[in-house]
Structure 1
Amino acid sequence: EGEGRLKSIEISRLNAEIAGVRARLQATAQEVRTADELATGMAQERSLGAAELVRVSEEAGLRAELADQLKAALAVESERVAKAWEDRERVQGWLHKRDQELTAAHAELSQVRDQHVAVVTE
């Protein structure tokens, strides 16, 4: 009977050790699942970060392209304004010259009229 009791105690101890090992295995398995979930989450974040980087790069490229287009449009518009200014200056010069010629013609006409009046009244 003493030997049976010793075997029973040994079996209980071994069962307790087996239960402890199983509990540690379950805890380790849970840690592995948690680590896998973290790794998956990090991979998803990395993927989202890469997608965001691509989006930002494309946006920067579009901004640079738009800036180049705006610079080109500004250069064309500046050239157009400069040409219009030159045309305006040329027209103003022509108008000034015409005004001077008209003033001179008017003075000459007045002088001729005065001479004609003087001749007619004599």
Structure 2
Amino acid sequence: MRVQKKITALIPLPLYYNPDPSEKRRPVEDEKFVRTAEEIAAMFGGGTLYRFEQESPRGFWWNAGIVSDNVLALLEVDFPDTAANRAKLISYARDVLKERFEQDAIYVKFVGPIESLVVEDEEI
């Protein structure tokens, strides 16, 4: 049994791109979610991508005096809470996710500290 002190980052990702000039929204391609999950796993050793088939969560925020909304997926990743790890994730959100999902901003929520337990064959 290994116990590690970590922090969780929650990153909501849009299932649809922002509206085009005619107010139509295109769905984000599945491969963008897969690629993102693979990159997060390579950076931090794993993660969970939640794509809700029914009753997807919706996000709302103010943008230039207008309330915007989107249907969301959720990326969750646990990692040791260091300044370097937080900076790496923030840079990834700014430099990769913002462009990949064609967003004005990417929201990252840090929750913790958390305690994670990896259950293996040995007894507790």
TM-score by length of 2: 0.15
Relative to its length, the structure with more strand (as a share) is 2
Q: Relative contact order (C-alpha < 8 Å, sep 6+): which is higher?
A: 2
Relative to its length, the structure with more helix (as a share) is 1
TM-score by length of 1: 0.15
Q: Which has the larger radius of gyration?
A: 1
